[in-house]
Amino acid sequence: MEANTKTIKSLAVLCSGGDSPGMNSAVRSVVRTAIGLGIDVYGIYKGYSGLLEGNIQKLNLSSVGNIIQRGGTILDTSRCLEFHTPEIRQEAAHILARKHIDALIVIGGNGSFTGAMTLHQEHDIPVIGIPGTIDNDISGTEYTIGFNTAVQTAVNAVDNIRDTASAHARTFLVEVMGRKSSFIALQVGICTGAEHVVLSNQAVDYEKIVNGINKGTERGKTSSIIIVAEGEKAGLSYEIKDTLMTQYNLSVHACILGHIQRGGSPTALDRLIASKMGYAAVQGLNQGLHCHVTAFNKGEIEMVPLSACMEGKNESTEAQLELIRALAI
Ligand code: F6P
């Protein structure tokens, strides 16, 4: 694995893009590991936007006390479109140099990793990415921090909806987050015994949905739950609801779970993986790695080149869909 020979005396950590539960656990791990190694550590507030504003503060051991269990991120976050511009990245590199910050750890998704990669390529700043997004959609890693908590939150919500759906003998469309990926939808579908899952990358198969609902009703089911992956923008479940009502004469309710899935205390799994990734990120920088991601593969954390983690992940949906079909019989 290619390594840099420069010694890291200081590093900064930022969170970027949509927050995800477990980001705080990762920040805590980065800060404590760095201090343990004698490396000065800075927090950049509000992601790349905060970097450009010089919103940077030195952190100490107690800066990250009592945060392992907290959702959101104590560093705040942002989606910074300006960072796509080379001149803006140059300004960011100057700010880091002026603060004598040798390296950067970025906790976020693909967009945030693209920013880190270009900053490294253009200005030779060592960067390590920690995958943090509820969508679990980053190539090169089987897991991203926050996914497990988001799925659990959605499962709890769907269980509640199932109670009322069954009391009234209703069908509910429940829309979950994930943008273009359907990972959350599929796991939530399996874990809630959903009758059907609408994937984000496929046309809605109305015949299948309607046949499923009718078959269930015939065999005495008192409710149906259809999980909808949101796709490019939220609201698809309302379109499906309208079509089912107007073209199939079915009475259905729609519920968009939305940002409730992004908040809340991280599960033990998210705290565990975030703690391991934060530790690995600092150790990696200290050992001279300079453009890598703390990936989680086959149960272990491994350092994967950042270039392998810039794409959306290929989804193998068929096995999970087959399971949902088999169990919703
Ligand atoms: O990428 C995380 C995510 O929560 C997606 O699942 C969702 O589509 C998007 O962010 C929502 O973004 P925002 O909070 O900026 O509306």
Does residue 10 sit in helix, strand or coil?
A: strand
Taking phi over 0 as left and psi of -120 to 50 as alpha, with beta for the rest, 46 belongs to: left
Angle of helix 236-248 relative to helix 206-218, nearest 10 degrees, comes to 70
Residue 175: φ, ψ to 5°? -95, 130
Question: What is this structure's pTM?
Answer: 0.96
pLDDT at 201: 86
> Ligand 1 center to residue 19 CA distance, Å?
9
| Residue whose CA is at the smallest distance from ligand 1 atom 8 | 179
Residue nearest to atom 7 of ligand 1 (CA): 179
Q: Shortest CA distance to 134 belongs to which of 235, 318, 258?
A: 258
pLDDT number for residue 311:
86
Among the listed residues 40, 23, 20, the one whose alpha carbon sits nearest the alpha carbon of residue 31: 40
Q: Give nearest CA residue, ligand 1 atom 11.
A: 18
* CA 233 to ligand 1: nearest atom: 8
Residue nearest to atom 2 of ligand 1 (CA): 18
Nearest CA to ligand 1 atom 9: 179
Contact status, residue 181 vs residue 312, Cβ threshold 8 Å? yes
Helix, strand, or coil (residue 103): strand
φ and ψ at 171, to 5 degrees? -105, 135
Q: How far is the CA of 79 from the centre of ligand 1 (A)?
A: 10
Q: Which of 102, 135, 137, 270 is catalytic?
A: 135
Q: Is 135 a catalytic residue?
A: yes
Atom of ligand 1 nearest to the CA of 79: 15
Separation CA 154–CA 311 (nearest Å):
25
Closest C-alpha among 75, 74, 79 to residue 17:
79
In this structure, the residues whose C-beta lies within 6 A of any atom of ligand 1 are 18, 109, 133-135, 177-179, 230, 262
Other beta carbons within 10 angstroms of residue 316's beta carbon come to 9
Q: Are 66 and 55 in contact (CB under 8 A)?
A: no
Query: Residue with the nearest Cα to atom 6 of ligand 1?
Result: 178
Q: How far is the CA of 221 from the centre of ligand 1 (A)?
A: 34
What pLDDT sits at residue 236? 95
Q: What's the pLDDT score for residue 3?
A: 58
pLDDT at res. 238: 97
d(CA 102, CA 96): 7
Separation of CA 186 from chain center: 15
CA 320 to chain centre: 20
Q: Point out the ligand 1 atom lying closest to the alpha carbon of residue 134.
A: 2
Q: Beta-carbon neighbour count of residue 3 at 10 Å?
A: 12
Q: How far is the CA of 326 from the centre of ligand 1 (A)?
A: 31
Which of 147, 177, 182, 237 for mutating ligand 1's site (highest number of atoms within 8 Å of CB)?
Answer: 177
Question: Is residue 229 a contact partner of residue 199, using CB atoms and an 8 Å limit?
Answer: yes
DSSP-based three-state secondary structure for 15: strand
Ordered DSSP codes for 270-299: HHHHHHHHHHHHHHHHHTT--EEEEEEETT
Closest CA to 21 of 199, 150, 190, 178: 150
- E strand residue ranges, 136-274: 171-176, 196-198, 224-229, 252-256
Compute mean pLDDT per 10 residues along the chain, 329 residues long, and list them: 72 98 98 98 98 98 98 98 96 98 97 97 98 97 98 98 96 97 97 95 93 91 95 94 96 97 98 98 97 98 97 86 92
Ligand 1 centre from 259 Cα, in Å? 8
How many A from CA of 177 to the centre of ligand 1?
A: 7
